[in-house]
Amino acid sequence: MLEQSLKDFINKECGGIPAVAKKVKLSERAIYKWASNGSLPRTEYSDETKYSKALSDISGVPVDQIKESFKPRSC
């Protein structure tokens, strides 16, 4: 499990919110929402989206570690 917030992970390991937004083809506002909530969207855990794969591609951190570290509270 990663020892940093999703916001810090995005900014330090993934090149910032604009870089992540471009990689996952979402608005910067959507990525700010992830950072503010401290978790990836629920759709990531129902296999509707693959944002953790994109974050892994950028950061080199394994997908499973990203998903485990940034789960929504309800998962």
Residue 53 in domain: yes
Q: What is the pLDDT along the chain (75 residues), one digit of tens a residue?
A: 899 999 999 999 999 999 999 999 999 999 999 999 999 999 999 999 999 999 999 999 999 999 999 999 865
Residue 69 in domain: no
Q: How many domains does the structure of the chain reveal?
A: 1
Residue 75 in domain: no
Residue 38 in domain: yes
How far is Cα 2 from Cα 19, in angstroms, rounded to an integer?
20
44: tokens are 């990531």
Residue 25 in domain: yes
How many helices (H) does the chain have, and how many strands (E)?
5, 0
Residue type, 19: A
How far is Cα 39 from Cα 73, in angstroms, rounded to an integer?
8
CATH number at residue 40: 1.10.260
Containing structural domain, residue 38 = 6-63
